[in-house]
Amino acid sequence: MNKNIKTGLYIIIGLVGFLITSILSSIVVLLLGQTFISFLLQMIFSIILSIIFIKIICVKIHHIELFELRICNFKNKLKWILCGILLPFSVIMFFIIIMPGYFEYAEMDNNQLLNKIAFGILCIGISTGITEELWFRGYIMKMIENNIGKKLSIIITAVIFSLLHIINIESSYNTFDILLLIISGIIVGIMFASIVYKSGSIWTAVIIHIFWNSIIGGIMHVGINQSETAIYTYILDKDLNIITGGNIGIEVSLPAMIGYLIIIIICIYRRKEYIEKSNVA
């Protein structure tokens, strides 16, 4: 079979697998309502189902083991944890220090607060962070790499990853917002891929992904509108389009994209440095 056709087929398998696990795990929340328990079960089911499905696909179709998708242990965990914390907090602090605005707290009782924290950390943070990395930087990226090369695997996976997030667009988003979403999504996808290639494991990207989603989506949001998911929102006085991220907010803002690019550059530089040292040795 032609390599391009095989690549397209494997991409479809990966996307279908990802969507099926997402839909099946979300049924828990639909049945039990938006509670701490349902969010916890949704997180557990989504991760377990993803690993089981990928394992079956690898064994039955590709005849390979999970570690060949870089679903393996990694070193320097503390370094990546610090990186995961530093990235969102650096972007948040930029806006708080530089851009005029005010804090808005989502008024709620203790039960509502617990459910909101659970949704932000368990679902948006942990569940999304792990399942997206398993499918995109684990399965899909490796299958593309095996057929048409590493560089194309990074770019194609990043584009697919970005376009998939268009399903999250809201009625308030305009054309410029959608363009920002696509561009930032591609840069984020390249960042996660660079982290995986630098470390040799998808779990490094998982750490960055979890911290970013949990902090930005679940705890603290920055934008021109109050977030429906975050506990605190720093509402900016002015919408400066690309600088502030338009109607979407901090995730697609210029400071955030600069942060993504810095990590990409560091990963590329450090990997080249490691390869040069290895060749000398």
What distance in Å separates the CA atoms of residue 49 and residue 24, rounded to the nearest whole number?
9
Q: Which has the minimum average pLDDT: 164-173, 181-190, 212-221?
A: 164-173
Residues with Cβ within 8 Å of residue 39, at least 6 apart in sequence: 29, 115, 118, 119, 122, 123
Residues with Cβ within 8 Å of residue 276, at least 6 apart in sequence: none
What distance in Å separates the CA atoms of residue 182 and residue 186, rounded to the nearest whole number?
6
Q: How many helices (H) and strands (E) does the chain have?
A: 10, 3
For the whole model, what pTM was predicted? 0.91
Tokens of 228: 């429906």
CB atoms within 10 A of CB 231: 16
In this prediction, residues 221-249 reach a mean pLDDT of: 85
In this prediction, residues 175-202 reach a mean pLDDT of: 93
Q: Are the C-beta atoms of residues 21 and 143 closer than 8 Å to each other?
A: no
Closest by CA position to 120, among listed 34, 55, 202, 33: 34
What distance in Å separates the CA atoms of residue 125 and residue 231, rounded to the nearest whole number?
14
Evaluate if residue 255 carries a pLDDT over 90. yes
Q: E strands along the chain, which residues?
A: 101-105, 220-223, 232-236
Per DSSP, the three-state class of 190 is helix
Give residue 205's Cα distance to chain centre.
8
Look at strands 220-223 and 101-105 and give their pairing. Answer: unpaired
Burial (Cβ within 10 Å: 0-12, 13-18, ≥19) of residue 208: buried
- Where residue 280 falls among pLDDT bands split at 50, 70, 90? very low
In this prediction, residues 161-167 reach a mean pLDDT of: 89
In this prediction, residues 203-207 reach a mean pLDDT of: 95
Evaluate if residue 54 carries a pLDDT over 80. yes
Residues with Cβ within 8 Å of residue 69, at least 6 apart in sequence: 54, 58, 138, 139, 142, 202
Q: What is the pLDDT of residue 223?
A: 85
Evaluate if residue 276 carries a pLDDT over 60. no
Residues with Cβ within 8 Å of residue 92, at least 6 apart in sequence: 215, 216, 220, 222, 234, 250
Evaluate if residue 219 carries a pLDDT over 60. yes
Q: What is the pLDDT of residue 272?
A: 57
In this prediction, residues 253-280 reach a mean pLDDT of: 76
Q: What is the pLDDT of residue 281?
A: 46
Evaluate if residue 273 carries a pLDDT over 80. no
What integer best gives the mean pLDDT of the chain?
89
Q: What is the pLDDT of residue 227?
A: 78
* Cα dihedral: 129, 130, 134, 136 (round 10): -10
What distance in Å separates the CA atoms of residue 185 and residue 41, rounded to the nearest whole number?
28
Q: What is the pLDDT of residues 128-140, one digit of tens each?
A: 999 999 999 999 9
Evaluate if residue 164 carries a pLDDT over 70. yes
Of 270 and 267, the one with more pLDDT: 267
Per DSSP, the three-state class of 101 is strand
What distance in Å separates the CA atoms of residue 87 and residue 256, rounded to the nearest whole number?
8
Q: What is the pLDDT of residue 271?
A: 63
Per DSSP, the three-state class of 38 is helix
Per DSSP, the three-state class of 232 is strand
Q: What is the pLDDT of residue 278?
A: 43
Q: What is the pLDDT of residue 232?
A: 87
